Amino acid sequence: MPNFYLKYKARIDKLGFVVVLVLFLYVFFTYLFSYIAPFVIGFIISLILFPLARLFSKRFKMKKGLASAICVLLFVVILGLLSTTIVNKIIFEARSFIQSVPFYVDEFLRITAEFRAKLDDMFQTAPEFVRAFIKDANFVSLLTPLSSGVTDGSMRVVTNIPSFLITFLMSLISAFFFIRDREKIFSLIKSKTPAWIAENIKIVRKGMLFAVWGYFKAQLILMSIVSCIVVVGLVIIGYPYALFVGILIAIVDMLPIFGSGSILWPWAAYSFFNGRYVTGIGLLVIYLIVLVTRQILEPRILGSQIGVHPLLTLMAMYIGLKMFGLFGLILGPAIVITIKAVYESRKFAEEESVNVSDPNC
């Protein structure tokens, strides 16, 4: 057994590291992340603010603590200004919406009346057993779970506000310490970490960054393609604001939770109920083209950006989604990239050692 391990030491170590890495990521994001999320967020904030803190320290001869505190305060102020701007925008649009509510109410009542008239016509021509079923069915009870779900969701949002504020405060405090004591923390970790683990961590970090950057680059390319498809489609069906709405749908399509269907399907339904059948069919055709295009191109574009075969990329995204949820769409390809980086780095190191030991090279 020892001879077997020594013979295949490099491959066994490589396989063991990959297995441990995947298990660690699974345990971390499934069980541990919720407990240390403020500190992870704080560390990310510190990475963003550290260059500014270093500039303040060198340019204005500030102490690290003061420079770190100023950077965190600037971050809070900028975040507050952005939030205020967004809130003001929402208030402005809400006022505009309220002013146009009578028009929407009249439009809704008209569509509802037309829809009810069509249902009455269908009801009169329906078979007897269908009419009996509709009369006996209690459709109001079907809305009860929906209303209770909305109520429960609203209560969860309200009760989670204090938790969010505590998490945000802890993130800011931890960001301050990460910025101020960055060198000490990294030196301590480096001194306590074995050399082979530190080497692999460096490889993992490069692989993760490369995968995340490749993922967002691929999404930007897909967003550009989707926006072109939607804009052209809206121009063909004669919609006056095709450019703005096309870009908006492309941005929404990039979000895994929503997708372009969250806008195009209700819009198509509204068009059908309003008697604009050509517009409704056109919107459904646009949605199908976007859906097929994204399903075909996403693995290819993502694979080309992160340097992995499209089929392997698709498998990594699906397995990551099953294991880690929506974040797994990024984490899955990131793990594949990391495994590839580990393999290539070890292979390169082995080739280098062979070249050095061989006098003929």
Q: What is the 3-state secondary structure (H, E, C) of 83-110?
A: HHHHHHHHHHHHHHHHHCHHHHHHHHHH
pLDDT tier at 132, thresholds 50, 70, 90: low
Kindly report whether the global pTM for this prediction surpasses the value 0.75: no
pLDDT tier at 289, thresholds 50, 70, 90: very high
Q: Helices (H) and strands (E) in the chain — how many of each?
A: 14, 0
> Is pLDDT above 60 for 145?
no
Can you give the residue ranges of every domain in the chain? 34-192, 194-361
> Is pLDDT above 80 for 193?
no
- Name the residue type at position 246: G
Tokens at residue 165, please?
């504020």
Q: What pLDDT, in 10s, does the model give residues 223-239?
A: 889 889 988 998 898 88
Q: What is the DSSP letter of 29?
A: I
Percentages (nearest 5) of helix, strand, coil residues in the chain: 90, 0, 10
DSSP string across 30-63 = IIIHHHHHHHHHHHHHHHHHHHHHHHHHHHS---
Average pLDDT for 127-148: 55
> E strand or H helix at 78, and its extent?
helix 64-99
Comparing C-alpha atoms, which of 231, 222, 214 is closest to residue 259? Answer: 222
Q: What pLDDT, in 10s, does the model give residues 146-155?
A: 444 444 554 4
Q: What pLDDT, in 10s, does the model give residues 159-176?
A: 555 677 888 888 889 989
Query: Do residues 47 and 54 make contact, with C-beta atoms less than 8 angstroms apart?
Result: no
